[in-house]
Amino acid sequence: MQRESYPFVEDSFSRFPSQSNIYGLCQAGEQELLAATLKGKVVCFRYQELQQKIRPVAKEVQFTYIPVDAEIVSIDAFNKSPPKSGLVVGITFVKDSGDKATPFLNIYCDYEPGSEFNLESIAQSCLNLELQFTPFQLYHTEVQCDDGGRETVFLLSGHDQRIHLYKENASLHQFEEQPVERLFPELQQLPSNVLWLDVLSISGGRRLSAFGCQNGCVGLALVDQTGAEVLQSWRFQFDSPVSTVLLFPLSCQTDPDQPSGEKSGETIGYNLLVTSTIEMAVVYRDVQEQGLSHPVCLLESDQWDAVLCALVIDLDFDGQKEVLLGTYGQELLCYKFQPSESGRDGQFQLQWRRSFKSPLLSIIYLDLTGDGLRELAVLTLKGLHILQHTLTSTAELVLERLAQRVSALRVGSELESAKNQDTKEQDAPAKKEEPTAQIPSN
């Protein structure tokens, strides 16, 4: 296999005062990142205009009610679902009181008009909740309300083998814990501590929910969101703790002669990526139809220590998504699905890998600079790397796509012109025959 070249260049690196973890990076708004360190510091990373140039800026944000001796476990943020408006930030941490450690969840949200998205104001508006369990991943997802609307909620996993749901009480302007089984019946009676959770809404008012556990168990459920009813569920047991589960649709190009960028792909189905601390990463194909019965291994993914983070995105702009894996062995791996002749089967092949100087903890793909081209943010044990697409190859791709579009428009125009000409030629004889009617003689 001829592997593709690495498509990124590193634009910046921000070193943090202390290390982070796999739950320590999140997107806040459209063009900002929040990174949490174990020593209680939260850093906001953004690009802003300085001296007529766009430059990266990393600035510590002073979130209230986080003690100086606290260790941050996880962080997450989301924009409220319409018609509501505002940014919500959640931070879990453990406060060491000497004789015992006390866990907390802080939820930050500013209800003052004009301050709903101001991070400095949001950081001062805190709801402090003491927890009775050690927190792990803090995750957010949308749920369907009784009135037919949508609302975004927090889901927090803990060492008590439970998932805890936190939902906004709009009348009291605060978030409250509610029984998870009301909205997520698939997340009760769990077999072990959940290390990673992912939820994906699909057509027909349904959703797929997946979780990976400390004991190696992977759970998957197909749920009717309208009635909060589990339609089907599956379980599979791995031999090591599951570090990531990720649900994603996969499209494959059905017409190989179709120019890249044209809409020639079809959605084959929804897939589940599972990574563990010892074994190879696995993608389960068409899970809504086949459950966990159709695994495809990502070869060589176990060669660089444990996989700690994963992301599925279209990196080369061909309409087909790639799988990115970040490992404790300091490698970033990129896999691409290569379909077989039948179109439904195939393998994920390693396209390229890139070495870092410390273990990879988290990866996010977002447009930090606001130029329409996304950057890849890579959180490592030592800090935050920002990788940008190689502009030369990206510009070449844009020119190639424009040339294809112009060619297609020209061909279409010529066909339309030829069609009009044929129509005129067909109408012409009929017009000439009209005055040829003979006049009877006297």
Which residue has tokens 């589990």? 230
Which pLDDT score is estimated for 253? 53
With cut-offs at 50, 70 and 90, classify the pLDDT of residue 22.
very high
State the average pLDDT over residues 261-276.
Answer: 75
CB 296 within 8 A of CB 324: no
pTM of the model: 0.88
From 370, 364, 361, 371, select the one nearest 387 (Cα to Cα): 364
Q: Is the pLDDT of residue 106 over 50?
A: yes
Q: Is the pLDDT of residue 190 over 90?
A: yes
Which pLDDT score is estimated for 260? 47
Which pLDDT score is estimated for 261? 47
With cut-offs at 50, 70 and 90, classify the pLDDT of residue 147.
confident
Of 15-19, 50-54, 334-338, 375-379, give the lowest mean pLDDT range: 50-54
Q: Is the pLDDT of residue 227 over 60?
A: yes
Residue 23 vs residues 278, 360, 388: alpha-carbon distances, Å: 20, 12, 23
Contacts 24+ apart (CB under 8 A), 116-122: 116/85, 116/86, 116/87, 117/29, 117/86, 117/87, 119/28, 119/29, 119/32, 119/44, 119/61, 119/87, 119/89, 120/61, 122/87, 122/89
Which pLDDT score is estimated for 226? 87
Rounded to the nearest integer, the mean pLDDT of the chain is 89
Q: Is the pLDDT of residue 215 over 60?
A: yes
Pairwise pLDDT comparison (346 vs 308), residue with the higher score:
308
CB 277 within 8 A of CB 243: yes
Which pLDDT score is estimated for 429? 57
Which pLDDT score is estimated for 427? 65
State the average pLDDT over residues 312-330.
Answer: 94
Which pLDDT score is estimated for 344? 63
% of the chain at pLDDT higher than 90 = 68
With cut-offs at 50, 70 and 90, classify the pLDDT of residue 442.
very low
Which amino acid does the sequence have at 419? Answer: K
Residue 91 CA to residue 138 CA, distance in Å, equals: 8
Neighbour count for residue 18 (Cβ, 10 Å):
12
Which pLDDT score is estimated for 343? 58
Is the dihedral angle over the CA atoms 180, 182, 187, 190 positive or is it negative? positive
> What's the distance, CA 80 to chain centroid?
17
Contacts of 331 (CB under 8 A, 6+ apart): 304, 353, 354, 355, 356, 360
From 180, 183, 125, select the one nearest 157 (Cα to Cα): 180
pLDDT per position as a tens digit, 366-416: 999 988 899 999 999 999 999 999 888 888 888 888 988 888 888 877 777
